[in-house]
Structure 1
């Protein structure tokens, strides 16, 4: 059939199983929006308040489902407003396709109105990007973009389409999406046998899992592997939920704000098995902590091997496939003495809270965990509240924790929560934020209300940029330069102005009742939870310090 470029684009999105797009219209994408009007029964378009919110929502949609998230923006400032969201997805290996409009082809390169070289700008933060020069190229480019976003190590792809290409007409023929092949061409028997030898010889193994176990859907295999060799399992921030928090072998998060059990076990193990993790500086700030251990690295991306830390053995490939081949070859272990030692360290990890009448972060989050039974999708912004969630909320299943790990994007949480709720309308979705982060993209409350997406926004309000404030106390001799927030914004009134519900927690006695009301609401809710600015995220490892040198008070 003969269609214009915009209609071909939408047909190709339908081919790829796209049911939701997050976007904001503008001149260069008017033809696309006209096509979306015609296809509104097939694809749900959610109008955001700002293009950055569209990118974060597409990201949240992808994290909650494993499918490719899609966002759409016009040329120039519309396209550049996507950049932070694209970078966020890139750093955390999230599959996303960002579609941007551009000026007509004759005007490209002339500094035309709302023209920008978005492919040049996003080249370092995408797996690949395309500019469509002819409508005949459009179908295959869209198909390839989705394939690239999903294959291997996932990530964002950008497709830039000049306006006149969306008006051109051409024939269209539907095709089935290309199957993503399991990445196993680099999995060699030699690599498997070398890893097996190290595992079988180890007496004190420690598994360190990263976000790759969620991307690959390898959670069940990780559990089987850990149980077979009786190895404790520590998680990066991105891996939370990939290994059940209530499993007997789980030691919790590892790294700068990791548990004592995870961090100290890393200094005492004789084999450190990293699976789907990249040895981030927030995990391995000083490699001296595991200098005495052999290291195995299993990852889909060969570029990560020996990048941040030198290893003794590695296997390149899809984690699920690697573990399927590895598990039958390893010898079952007891590791009784090692597990007893780790169990002692786990007891040290149990926080000793003061008996306080004040509203403490751990109390609020533990009550949130109880009320949701650990079955909600929790999205966060970035800062102290993010680390408190990682420490105190118990994640039992993959794709229930949506957070910006690599880029650390303040303002990510609400947009991501909207995307997660659009993807999983039957799940409770809670965005846990700080007052600094929430102010960055609070305008997306209008999106949540207009799209009828009843998310809960729990603002841990300490009238400070909490993590900045904490670092200034520890490392800058308490010079609190611009980390105290003097804004007089009333978050309850702000919520009501957006036609959401606003609630406030001012005492410990109110926590449970207010959270219950928020969770049971059928409209978006902002909960302004007042906490003290002096509350810290502990334990903490100072930047560059060995992982076992924990600041605990």
Structure 2
């Protein structure tokens, strides 16, 4: 028997699971774990400025690596800060292990400084919550990782009781943990799916995050081409079909969604593949009475009084698509030329105006400068709605957003994690000035980690999305200006140099220089937010 400590068993166990970074803010109870990380090859601790930022970083590591991202927070306020990022992983379907200090058994339920029930706190934010015991800590981690990876991925909370870390235990070794295998589709359900699809005259494909996880990109394109089907995407499924593909029909919910709606208004069946209503409920865009055929790992969440469910296949997504692809090729009754005209009109409205420096023009320049293998993360706000519809996304994972949890402050921590996971590719983030302020302290993390990042801040001095909602109600603008005027700061913030761009040419030059730099760089684009007014928050439902 080889003796070790609980802390070393936990750290080597995480390393052996494939974890390479643990994000967090340390505590006194975490000191033994920190020393174990320091002396264990293949795993590092990344100090965040705020536990919420650590959670966002772990979320994105989980997305990009397929291994649960790991974050840590201490008792009470550390755990509640962490909770924002943990909830994001669950609703954005990212595998995560959220570790926190916990009170030792004799103090649970007592009145103790910083003491709250972490199991109760994290229960509604996670797929499961548990705590380790000294002799079974590694077994608990394995079970937590399995749950985090299985079905719809998400966060699992694991409590680390204080005072246990230095206990002597038998060393345990583990290998990689895989998700539970998905069941094969029920033959009767598959037959009903094939029949419903064959009978439909104008079925439209609606592709969601579950299809991304299933890796069925090629099957989606093949199905669309074989039967001449328009393909709708949710924002987090961007990249599942190219924007210039003749069957691409646009992104639901985001900018100019009314123009996208002109296509699905003509459908007589929605064939939903991995569609996750955490991004956008079916009822919010499907015309009343429109039927659904669903292929997903869970049953469809839809008002079945308003929308008949013609077929529902629950289980592995790929085999259900194969059953449809086995049908004889035949174009459905869609006018793809009309679809092309609608798309051309939509993208024309999203094109940057000559000479104007507004969000669309800025995105055009950034897309031109960032290579196709680069990663762009974004925050939450009006700019997100433009990115969802306008940003050309070559493949899934090259544009990263939060659209299930939708927490402002996500963009910068997400970019930090993306660069740590993909050091060989260019990484940038696009933030509104309001969202930037929420996690600006993570600039210090980027500096400490010496990460070459381009941090693009769209400065328009207001919370544009909420300001537009105020004006749509004819309410006065109140509580949404970020500042009266001006820029976010001086020539540098937290040691990160700031370049201000006032026109497309300045912006391009700043981006080119930024991507060539050997550390983080801020490019602040001074934009007119009024361009958003006519593009976002349009009618989603026909």
* Category of TM-score, reference length = shorter chain: over 0.9
Answering whether residue 540 of structure 2 is matched by residue 520 of structure 1, we say no
Alignment-derived partner of residue 72 in structure 1? 72
Contact kept? 1:216, 1:319, Cα under 8 Å: yes
Contact kept? 1:60, 1:416, Cα under 8 Å: yes
The offset of 1:324, in angstroms, is 3.5
Q: Distance in 2 between matches of 1:279 and 1:70?
A: 26
Answering whether residue 482 of structure 2 is matched by residue 485 of structure 1, we say yes
Alignment-derived partner of residue 312 in structure 1? 310
The offset of 1:244, in angstroms, is 2.2
Alignment-derived partner of residue 509 in structure 1? 505
The offset of 1:251, in angstroms, is 1.5
Give the alignment's TM-score, normalised by structure 2. Answer: 0.94
Alignment-derived partner of residue 166 in structure 1? 165
The offset of 1:540, in angstroms, is 4.2
Alignment-derived partner of residue 551 in structure 1? none
* 1:62-104: CA deviation from partner (whole Å, max 9, x where unpaired): 2223332111222221111110111111111111111111233
Q: Secondary structure at the match of 1:100?
A: strand
Q: Distance in 2 between matches of 1:515 and 1:405?
A: 26
Alignment-derived partner of residue 111 in structure 2? 111
Contact kept? 1:374, 1:394, Cα under 8 Å: no
Give unpaired runs (5+ residues) of structure 2. Answer: none
Q: Give me the CA root mean square deviation.
A: 2.2
Q: Secondary structure at the match of 1:10?
A: helix
Answering whether residue 28 of structure 2 is matched by residue 32 of structure 1, we say no
Equivalent residues, number: 539
The offset of 1:161, in angstroms, is 0.8
Alignment-derived partner of residue 417 in structure 2? 419
Q: Secondary structure at the match of 2:499?
A: strand
The offset of 1:11, in angstroms, is 1.6
- Within a 5 Å distance, the mapping from 1:21-100 to structure 2 comes to 21-39=22-40, 41-100=41-100
Contact kept? 2:253, 2:540, Cα under 8 Å: no
Q: Distance in 1 between matches of 2:88 and 2:256?
A: 22
* 1:364-403: CA deviation from partner (whole Å, max 9, x where unpaired): 1011111124332111110011112122210011111211
Residue from 400, 403, 416 that aligns with 1:405: 403
Contact kept? 1:491, 1:502, Cα under 8 Å: no
Q: Distance in 2 between matches of 1:47 and 1:169?
A: 27
Contact kept? 1:2, 1:171, Cα under 8 Å: yes
Answering whether residue 439 of structure 2 is matched by residue 445 of structure 1, we say no
The offset of 1:538, in angstroms, is 4.2
Moved more, 411-420 or 213-222: 213-222
Q: Do the aligned partners of residues 314 and 428 (structure 1) sit closer, same or farther apart at CA in structure 2, a change above 3 Å counting?
A: same
Q: Distance in 1 between matches of 2:69 and 2:138?
A: 18
Contact kept? 2:97, 2:155, Cα under 8 Å: yes
Answering whether residue 7 of structure 2 is matched by residue 6 of structure 1, we say yes
* 1:224-243: CA deviation from partner (whole Å, max 9, x where unpaired): 22222221111111111122
Q: Distance in 1 between matches of 2:312 and 2:442?
A: 43
Q: Distance in 2 between matches of 1:354 and 1:175?
A: 53
- Within a 5 Å distance, the mapping from 1:86-485 to structure 2 comes to 86-132=86-132, 134-185=133-184, 187-279=185-277, 282=280, 284=282, 286=284, 289-302=286-299, 304=301, 310-328=308-326, 330-335=327-332, 337-352=334-349, 355-475=353-473, 477-485=474-482
Contact kept? 1:75, 1:115, Cα under 8 Å: yes
Q: Do the aligned partners of residues 221 and 541 (structure 1) sit closer, same or farther apart at CA in structure 2, a change above 3 Å counting?
A: same
The offset of 1:303, in angstroms, is 6.3
The offset of 1:516, in angstroms, is 1.2
The offset of 1:533, in angstroms, is 3.3
Contact kept? 2:289, 2:307, Cα under 8 Å: no
Q: Secondary structure at the match of 1:81?
A: helix
Q: Do the aligned partners of residues 141 and 310 (structure 1) sit closer, same or farther apart at CA in structure 2, a change above 3 Å counting?
A: farther
Contact kept? 1:29, 1:73, Cα under 8 Å: no
